[in-house]
Amino acid sequence: MSEVDILKIVASVLALIISIVGHEIMHGWVAYRYGDNTAKSMGRLSINPIRHVDPVGTILVPAVLYAVNAPFLFGWAKPVPIDMNTVIRNGGYGAAIAVSLAGITYNLILAALAATLVPLAWPPQSLMSAFVYLFLVQSVMINVVLAVFNLWPIPPLDGSQALRFFAAKMGWRNFVLAYEKVYPYGMILLFAILFTPLSNILFAPVGWILRMILPG
């Protein structure tokens, strides 16, 4: 294994941890702003990654993706506990939507910030500058993937939560009731999509976004 390969692995792991841990912390932080102390009281607003590690999403899935030479890495951290009833009571369904989309917003901001710094890190002049460049590129790719992935309206992803609260805000009671019936089967549906060609369609926006924000 070359030095570049080692640098890429370390840069990818670091970028992934910052992306998925920050994603979950933002859910808890926005909920805290609306009066929900659940995540804070359980120490889940900590930046200590150990508090957020999910054995499957943080370790197994990224490792398998890397082993099969997938075009990008993604994963997830342990969900931050949120009392959405408190959030809705204090801020209405708009607040619930904000909490649901907080992680995606974090990922998109982080991707945009890293993308603006990529040209400044090229061409690398040393191993350290090469690591910085690889970290920035991986940060862009991973955060865009996470944002697109979590926008899918499939339970329990953030997109499904935001859609459900938006429907409730609009008074679409029948839609909410019908949508909630899908929730028990969400993970089955999600994994079925991830390992079928349909995932190529749902991940297509990743390529569009990367072409727009990354230098050619």
- Is the pLDDT confidence value at 216 over 70? no
Can the peptide bond before residue 123 be classed as cis, meaning omega within 30 degrees of 0?
yes
Question: In the chain, pLDDT over 70 holds for what percent of residues?
Answer: 98
The dihedrals phi and psi of 60, each to the nearest 5 degrees, come to -65, -50
**Mean pLDDT estimate for the chain:** 90
Question: What is the rounded average pLDDT of the residues 144-156?
Answer: 93
Do residues 139 and 110 lie in contact, with contact meaning Cβ atoms separated by under 8 Å?
yes
Helical ranges in 118-203 per DSSP H: 127-151, 158-170, 173-180, 186-194, 198-202
pLDDT digits (tens, 9 = 90+) for 100-138: 999 999 999 999 999 999 999 888 888 889 999 999 999
pLDDT, position 1: 65
Q: Give the C-alpha separation, 102 to 29, whole Å.
A: 9
Burial of 209 (0-12, 13-18, 19+ CB in 10 A): buried
Question: What is the rounded average pLDDT of the residues 65-81?
Answer: 79
pLDDT, position 134: 93
- Who has greater pLDDT, 87 or 216? 87
- Is the pLDDT confidence value at 196 over 90? no
Catalytic residue, chosen from 7, 19, 20, 24, is 24
24 is catalytic: yes
- Is the pLDDT confidence value at 74 over 80? no
Question: What is the rounded average pLDDT of the residues 189-210?
Answer: 85
- Is the pLDDT confidence value at 174 over 80? yes
pLDDT digits (tens, 9 = 90+) for 9-37: 899 889 999 999 999 999 999 999 999 99
> Confidence band (pLDDT; 50, 70, 90) for 50?
confident
